[in-house]
Amino acid sequence: MNRVMKGAAATALAMGVSVGAAQAQDDTIKIGVLHSLSGTMAISETTLKDTVLMLVDEQNKKGGLLGKKLEAVVVDPASDWPLFAEKARELLEVNKVAAVFGCWTSVSRKSVLPVFEELNGMLFYPVQYEGEESSKNVFYTGAAPNQQAIPAVDYLMSEEGGSVKRFVLAGTDYVYPRTTNKILEQYLLDKGIPAEDIMINYTPFGHSDWQTIVSDIKAFGSAGKKTAVVSTINGDANVPFYKELGNQGIASSDIPVVAFSVGEEELSGIDTGPLVGHLAAWNYFMSAESPVNDEFIEKWQAFIGSEDRVTNDPMEATYIGFNMWVKAVEAAGTTDVDMVRDEMNGITYPNLTGGIAVMNTNHHLTKPVLIGEIQDDGQFQIVWSTPKGVIGDAWTDFLPESKNLVADWTAPISCGNFNITTGKCSGQNY
């Protein structure tokens, strides 16, 4: 053993770490998994933790990345928004992860954002959100409002979607529903829907007593105009909400509900018989017909050990983000965040519906938009889709404070909120 190696061995032993363990650490690339495994959001997020573990296992079977094995470091922020920030710092500072895959609610993402920007970490965020943000440290692989909320409302107002004239905007009380509904309210007003034909309601996380609210919705829908519910209700509150719809006999033919946070995973614990015909808007459904989707479902069910386990949109967003990161690391030849970020711009990867996802320079994907109808087996029948992929818009065109903002993380702009009117960047990062 030469002098340098002896010195390294002595240092490792002095720190209580064997030489073999130190070398093993050098032979792995750590990635963080930041999803709630307990609390109100565990119903949705636990599956995404398992999805990352499957993708890591699959990548390691291919030989790993840059000649090293991938190692997933899993933490549980427990649906506690301040704890998300603590766990993010732990992943970046203590575990030295190369990238993090995580968060579901926007309040959890907002909680960790300053940590990722301070420490120059890389976060892949796989869930639909309200937009109005673009950080150089975040890649948004879920839907922006123009890839979910706006197309869903357009569909409802169309003859095909029922020519809806009255809207209930029902959401959980936090930033995603409030901002999305602010955008939708203005959009509906711009489309000629009177203010009195828009009902807005918010409930806390984990809300369980829906009898009065569903009665109010039923009454609102009895005014002689076709009415629909646009739901940004999140987490386990969806279970009693949908059960109460069934209890009060609200059929989809009477008052259809289109949900932005209910997919196959959430429906797996509900008797979907009374919910047949209600809708959801996503960029992916398990029922999508494509060879790549069939392969993904087969791998997922084999990995999880159950043919009954479903797939959903945030899983696809995780799948796309993970594989884009792998591709960018291979192109950069390193896990260095700045170099990998440069390679992410314009990178492509097949999505599960048969097309190609593109990571744009605003850190949002190009993806198709799908409307699905709930079936009695808990799956969705796709009833409408965009003819091609839609570019995710970080800043909405329908709010006066946002319509002049664009995000572009390439030179010469290199800004997340560039004002095209003033020609100036409005902030440091987003």
Q: Work out the mean pLDDT of the chain and round it to a whole number.
A: 92
Bridge-based pairing of strands 123-125 and 370-374 is: unpaired
Residue 288 pLDDT: 97
Classify residue 397 as exposed, middle or buried by CB count within 10 Å of its CB (0-12, 13-18, 19+).
Answer: middle
Contact 345, 358 (CB under 8 A): no
Contact 183, 397 (CB under 8 A): no
Domains and CATH numbers, the chain: 3-144+293-366 (3.40.50.2300), 146-287+370-390 (3.40.50.2300)
pLDDT tens digits, one per residue of 125-184: 999 999 999 999 999 999 999 999 999 999 999 999 999 999 999 999 999 999 999 999
Bridge-based pairing of strands 123-125 and 138-140 is: parallel
pLDDT tens digits, one per residue of 353-391: 999 999 999 999 999 999 999 999 999 999 999 999 999
Contact 340, 332 (CB under 8 A): yes
Residue 414 pLDDT: 95
pLDDT tens digits, one per residue of 167-179: 999 999 999 999 9
With 70 as the cut, is the pLDDT of residue 193 above it? yes
Average pLDDT in the 69-81 region?
Answer: 97
Contact 128, 162 (CB under 8 A): no
